[in-house]
Structure 1
């Protein structure tokens, strides 16, 4: 069994009783607006409190959303970890080249559609945090696939990242609402796959499979209120109406 780290939330322990595998990739899949980033934020909280560092790859939200949501759901202050957090913001209007990336800004701003930029932004962020024990958390990575120019290269970059053999731990969320075949490639390449569903304003999480740890395939209710879940639905809707049309033109 892989080395793991303990998770704070009881509902996460119910799904991953051995903990989350370290040095592997875990993917959280599910329909759009089904609360996948909220699951990721719970892992981020446990990771930071255990002494690790986190790199956020943000596609459809910013640092403010992360800070507000983690404070609301987990009573957690991301500002308490300034040396162990780094944010990378995806901006499709920035030049899609390494030269167009602002690596010195906080957060890093980059057009991650170009695989060379994806790799440079990722390595720059990892190298800049204060601890070698790094969790890379990326949300809504399926959005890149809406670009007709960059979709094929993006999926290859995702799969390569998922499959890489290094000391870092990766946690990515992807929507199954579109590009089913491409998302299946990412899931197949991952060590562990978790699934979310949200019928009737109730979020459920279950394990789909894992190559290295035990997962529960039972649907485990996640104790968020309908009002809390409405926030993530709102972000998802904003993405559909603003970001996706922009990506379709690139």
Structure 2
């Protein structure tokens, strides 16, 4: 039986995924840190919302303000126009790593290093927005910097990727650290796309897919060096603030 797919609208994404994004599966965008992977994910988020779906944002190294500002700048898109179909989960490693330590508000705040908390936060966020859900999670590799929880977090990611449910998952991961661990997430995923930065330009290609056609030819993503510089600055700020905290947990 042919898998259901979703048209991503953007021509440069169609070149890489000519059949569309596989629905009910996990797609991973992988590549070096600071190479604009979340910006690619935001293109899928825009198309998904415009087609009537709902989105859960799981944000590890940036907040809702970054999402709002970036999607407005890159895509002239107002996420606040879809309040009933958006749910946010903020990763806060300073909170107690337990379900009881979650702050179930808007956004949901939780120390997602504990797999039970990861599962509960995702389930709570998904329940808020209903059917046709795209779960978009960025910079999952950051969890692996925790010496106590890194292995458990990796298992939680793989279990989520392999989960048999109706939701569609789009994860971004950096290969700048823990490359072997990240490869386990890639191997478990249905579809893998790869990014590369050269001369302040972002390139995207398909690596493989178990269900849809992908092009292995590189496509230049039409972001300016200035726009890509924004994501680089977020990545650099993470290295100087969040990573040292995680290394102590």
- TM-score bucket (shorter structure): over 0.9
* 2:216 counterpart SS class: coil
Q: Count the aligned residue pairs.
A: 248
* 2:9 counterpart SS class: coil
Partner of 2:5 in structure 1?
4
Partner of 1:86 in structure 2?
87
Partner of 2:151 in structure 1?
152
1:78-117 map, 5 Å: 78-103=79-104, 105-117=105-117
Partner of 2:240 in structure 1?
241
Gaps of 5+ in 2: none
Runs of at least 4 residues off by over 3 Å? none
Gaps of 5+ in 1: none
Partner of 1:26 in structure 2?
27
Partner of 2:70 in structure 1?
69
Partner of 1:59 in structure 2?
60
Q: TM-score, normalised by structure 1?
A: 0.99
Instruction: Report the Cα distance in structure 1 between the residues aligned to 2:17 and 2:120, rounded to whole angstroms.
Output: 32
Instruction: Report the Cα distance in structure 1 between the residues aligned to 2:197 and 2:39, rounded to whole angstroms.
Output: 12
* 2:203 counterpart SS class: strand
Partner of 1:126 in structure 2?
126
Instruction: Report the Cα distance in structure 2 between the residues aligned to 1:49 and 1:160, rounded to whole angstroms.
Output: 29
* 1:99 counterpart SS class: coil
Instruction: Report the Cα distance in structure 1 between the residues aligned to 2:73 and 2:181, rounded to whole angstroms.
Output: 33
Partner of 1:170 in structure 2?
169
Instruction: Report the Cα distance in structure 2 between the residues aligned to 1:2 and 1:60, rounded to whole angstroms.
Output: 33
Instruction: Report the Cα distance in structure 1 between the residues aligned to 2:86 and 2:151, rounded to whole angstroms.
Output: 30
**Structure 1 residue 8: deviation in Å?**
1.4
**Structure 1 residue 181: deviation in Å?**
1.0
Cα shift readout 1:112-134 (whole Å, capped 9, x = no counterpart): 000000000000000011x3000
Q: Does 1:227 align with 2:226?
A: yes
**Structure 1 residue 2: deviation in Å?**
1.4
Cα shift readout 1:151-178 (whole Å, capped 9, x = no counterpart): 0100000000000010000000000001
**Structure 1 residue 41: deviation in Å?**
0.2
Partner of 1:138 in structure 2?
137
* 2:193 counterpart SS class: strand
Q: TM-score, normalised by structure 2?
A: 0.99
Instruction: Report the Cα distance in structure 1 between the residues aligned to 2:142 and 2:3, rounded to whole angstroms.
Output: 31
* 1:156 counterpart SS class: helix
Instruction: Report the Cα distance in structure 2 between the residues aligned to 1:169 and 1:44, rounded to whole angstroms.
Output: 11
